[in-house]
Amino acid sequence: MNNQIDYKDIIDLGFDVLRSEDEVFFNQYGYDYKIFTYNLSEGFTLDWCQVERVCKLQRGNSEGAVFYEKILNGLDEVKEFIKMFKGTNKDPNKYTYG
């Protein structure tokens, strides 16, 4: 099964993007490293890797420790998790999928 998800789909879903200054990464790949995350609820996030183009469901704490991680099976499963957690975050404007 192909787990890869296109950049455009991640952006369309409303993932937050954090640009990271990483000269080693830039010299290897030719573009800046970015961190793509989607906060589902307290302790649960989606993380998309721009190199592998896969999305992971992560459970962790506010200090950044990850206790659980699962690679999702493509765009449909990402949308399913966003829909499942819809409305559980304190920011009601965060979720637009559904």
The domain spans of the chain are 7-85
The pLDDT of residue 98 is above 90: no
3 state DSSP class of 84? helix
Write the pLDDT tens digit of every residue in 25-57: 899 988 888 999 999 988 899 999 999 999 999
Q: What angle do CA 63, 64, 70 make, to 5 degrees?
A: 145
Residue 20 confidence (pLDDT): 84
**How many Å is the maximal CA-CA distance in the chain?**
41
